[in-house]
Chains A and B, each alone.
Chain A
Amino acid sequence: DTAVSQTPKYLVTQMGNDKSIKCEQNLGHDTMYWYKQDSKKFLKIMFSYNNKELIINETVPNRFSPKSPDKAHLNLHINSLELGDSAVYFCASSQGGKNTEAFFGQGTRLTVV
């Protein structure tokens, strides 16, 4: 039973398209995140949600819009995809608050052509 699951695992699309990545966690955590990992493996936080509310937006272009229908789900919608959006996107969740680790999904490899 996967703790943090994201779909799809691979996504290949053309420039200019709009796409979504879905994420669900069954850990009962209050906080969910989206991270972007570039080709050099650098992991950078994009968004953080706590109980369905956006608490962190790390200067991500507004073409990226996260949506949290409930605290177990955090989806990422991307408009007008650009070549530079190609990366691996990771969803994660944590209990939030004091000193708890984040649990990561398996990642979605997005390739924009």
Chain B
Amino acid sequence: GESVGLHLPTLSVQEGDNSIINCAYSNSASDYFIWYKQESGKGPQFIIDIRSNMDKRQGQRVTVLLNKTVKHLSLQIAATQPGDSAVYFCAETRYNFNKFYFGSGTKLNVKP
């Protein structure tokens, strides 16, 4: 399943499927990007980050893709599990700026 962030704030996928969560950022000067996962009643938790000199970075079951040309970021989750159900945020910042700007978030529902 795939979301387009602001236009589809909720993404429902079947357990075992791959998920793609999208994020558009606005500041072309941003050079560091992070995906956070927020479970109900908890604070945002770091998932994966990427710097602007890269266009892809992989973690365990997660991949982040960065397209600076169109200022677009995506998070791919392989073999989505019920424990992946949460709200996902992208965050952007600039070098040495000490401030993170968050996107509006996408809720991921994983159906067993």
Give chain A's interface residues, CB within 8 Å of chain B: 4, 31, 33, 35, 40-45, 48, 50, 55-56, 90, 92, 94, 96-99, 101-107
Interface residues, chain B, with chain A CB atoms under 8 Å away:
31-32, 34, 36, 38, 41-46, 49, 51, 87, 89, 91, 95-96, 98-102, 104-105
CB<8 Å pairs between A and B, sample of 27: A31-B98, A33-B100, A35-B102, A41-B38, A41-B87, A41-B104, A42-B104, A43-B89, A43-B105, A45-B100, A48-B98, A50-B98, A90-B43, A97-B96, A97-B98, A98-B96, A99-B31, A99-B49, A99-B51, A101-B49, A102-B46, A102-B91, A102-B100, A103-B46, A105-B43, A106-B41, A106-B42
Beyond A97-B96, A99-B51, A101-B34, whether A43 also contacts B102 by CB under 8 A is: yes
Contacts of B102 in A (CB 8 A): 35, 42-44
Contact B44–A48 (Cβ < 8 Å): no
* A105 nearest CB neighbor, chain B only: B43
Q: Which residues of A contact B99 (CB under 8 A)?
A: 33, 45, 48, 56
Question: Do residues B98 and A55 form an inter-chain contact, with CB atoms below 8 A?
Answer: yes
> Which residue from chain B places its CB closest to the CB of A102 in the assembled complex?
B100
Q: How many interface contacts (CB-CB < 8 Å) are there between A and B?
A: 60
Taking A41-B38, A90-B44 as given, write out 18 further A-B residue pairs in contact, using a Cβ cutoff of 8 Å, ordered by the A residue number: A4-B43, A35-B102, A40-B104, A42-B102, A42-B105, A43-B44, A43-B105, A48-B98, A50-B98, A97-B96, A98-B95, A99-B32, A99-B51, A99-B95, A101-B49, A104-B43, A106-B43, A107-B42
Given contacts A41-B87, A41-B105, contact A56 B98 (CB under 8 A): yes
